[in-house]
Every structure is written in C-alpha cells, then in structure tokens.
Amino acid sequence: MKSTARLMIIISLALNRKLTFTDLLTITSLGKGSLSNHLDKLREGGLIKIKTVFSPIGPRVMVEITEEGMSAYENYSKILKKLL
C-alpha cells in the first residue's frame, strides 16, 4: 500500500467491518475530496465496497472491507508483528 491514509482506512475497516464516510472523515482527519480519492483507489483495488444506504436521517455512504481487504490487513499485521 502506497499511502498511510489508505492503510489507516483499511485498519479502521478491518476493526469495524463497516463505517460511514463521515466516520472515516473523523478517524482519518482527511478532507472530503482526499478521502474520496483514497476510497476510489481502494475500491479499484478490490479492497473495499462502497454503497449508499437510505436511513431515516437521509442517505449515508457506507464503506465495507472485502475479503481481499481483510487479507491485505492480515498481511500487514504479520509484517508489523515481525518488526516488533
């Protein structure tokens, strides 16, 4: 993964499985445009799925990690454990 922001997104999703776009804005402290760009790259790589869901408070953009994304997270976890 070429970006610490993308790694932070993957770690957050691996721990929570699904998060809203707003949740990810808060967690990453990225701007909306920057987060959107990172999410597009992760989606193109097959690591996440993005969908709009409708709730009583309006539409929400949900981001969910894929099995491929979980595999990438597990690989990074193994590397970090070896380094520590």
CATH number at residue 9: 1.10.10.10
Instruction: Please give the model's pTM, rounded to 2 decimal places.
Output: 0.88
Domain count across the chain: 1
Helix, strand, coil content of the chain in percent (nearest 5): 60, 25, 15
Tell me 7's DSSP state. Answer: H
The model's pLDDT over 30-71, given as tens digits with 9 standing for 90+, comes to 999 999 999 999 999 999 999 999 989 899 999 999 999 999
What is the predicted pLDDT for the residue at 3?
86
Domain enclosing residue 56, as ranges? 4-83
Confidence of residue 1 (pLDDT cuts 50, 70, 90): low
